[in-house]
Amino acid sequence: MTTPSMGQVTIRSVGAGGDGVANMPDGQIYVPFTLPGEVVNVAREKHRATMIALLGASPERQQPACRHFEDCGGCALQHWQDEPYRQWKRDMVVASLKGRGIDVAVDPLVACAPQTRRRAVFAMRKTEKGVLLGFNRHQSHEIIDISECAVTVPEIIARLDDLREVGALLATGTKPFKLAATLTASGLDLAASGCGVLTDVQKRALTALVMKKGFARLSHEGEIIVEPKKPIINFGKVPVPIPPGCFLQATVDAEETMVSLVLSHLGKAKKVADLFCGVGTFALRIAEKSAVHAVENDAAALAALDRGVRHVQGLKPVTIERRDLFRRPFMPKELLGFDAVVFDPPRAGAEEQAQELAKSKVEKVVAISCNPVTFARDLSILVKGGYRITRVTPIDQFLWSPHVEAVAMLVKK
């Protein structure tokens, strides 16, 4: 194990991971919780360092919104004032696009309000003193017990003690595990993972506790333990009974912003393909005006979308298809007849699908991504194929983190 070296550094910028960056003779070092222009004493180990003392603070530094900031590891940038923080996030999208030779106007960042994240994944562990519930310390496996959170909805934070009770019954020893809590229209949906094999005695006790506390559902590794109420998420007119652990946009406000952008670009398109559709975040809104073919590889998500749409009148036709778009992207011939395509892939992007889409005659495309690097790569493929980017909008769906969402609109004549 190497011994950290001590020294004084000046922070030149904030890197893509949210840490301050200092230029040294042997390369860059990364110092969490620092800002451009700040002078700090650090303990350095290779290319990472820990701030020991802040010698010269930036005028852009502000008081963090949460008492656990710098300890719990959930947020990276609460100490940065809103305007420079938002400019930095927008600049990440701009830089990624320019790195691919794309020089287009980028909208101002759509801001995210505190206490709006509707899903939190807590780290938990049983100890002699009780159950720890919180997040892992930065660059560590240590769980920091929390009593508040500046990004998560109050409906979840108000139930921390109840979640600890659930965790006490889930724990099979001192091994850490995860408990995700999602706010739905039916109440909190809880999804545990990493608890090991649950006994029948545990399951009976958990069932009684979940019923008593009024939670909508508890699942473990995708298996439903108890479900007093179907957890429902409303997508436009359609209430969808979501499966355990399914993907949802992090905040309702960001989702509504993205939906508005998508619908404005689609206009009067008669037939739309929604690729990587999930449980129908976009498809079910689009179906209010256009026929939709919704494509997704997750069988449970597709089944939930199908169940939701079957009980709602007044929508245009919605068809579904289970398909691995990484292995079997839609080919240009298959896209004939579609006026528009919407795609919102995982962080890895949709390189294979973008290559086939670039060869197609689809007139309008909306690309959505939470990773500026793969977003820019996929857009560059479409641009080389004859598409023109008409608008790019970055959205701060992940407040005080280094992650940023982006929506691009493209047309092809």
Q: Could you tell me which residues are annotated as the binding site for S-adenosyl-L-methionine? A: 249, 276, 296, 344
Cα–Cα distance for residue pair 392/106, rounded to 1 Å: 5
**Which run of H or of E encompasses 235?**
strand 232-235
CA Rg, the chain, in Å? 23
- Three-state secondary structure call for residue 342: strand
- 382, 358 Cβ separation under 8 angstroms: yes
Among residues 75, 112, 195, 370, which one is catalytic?
370
Cα–Cα distance for residue pair 380/387, rounded to 1 Å: 9
Q: Within 13 Å, how many C-alpha atoms sit on residue 332's CB side? A: 9
Q: Is 75 a catalytic residue?
A: no
**Which run of H or of E encompasses 379?**
helix 372-384
Q: Which residues are annotated as a binding site?
A: 249, 276, 296, 344
What is the full DSSP assignment across 114-183? SS-B-EEEEEEEEETTEEEEEEEPTTS--EEE-S--SSB-HHHHTTHHHHHHHHHHH-SSS--EEEEEEE
Cα–Cα distance for residue pair 395/170, rounded to 1 Å: 36
What is the full DSSP assignment across 60-100? TB---SSTTTTTSSS-S-TTB-HHHHHHHHHHHHHHHHHHT
Tell me the pairing of strands 143-145 and 177-184.
Answer: unpaired
Q: Is 56 exposed, middle or buried (0-12, 13-18, 19+ CB in 10 A)?
A: exposed
Q: Token pair for residue 199?
A: 């006994």
Who contacts 104 (Cβ-Cβ below 8 Å, separation ≥6)? 97, 389, 392
Active site residues: 370
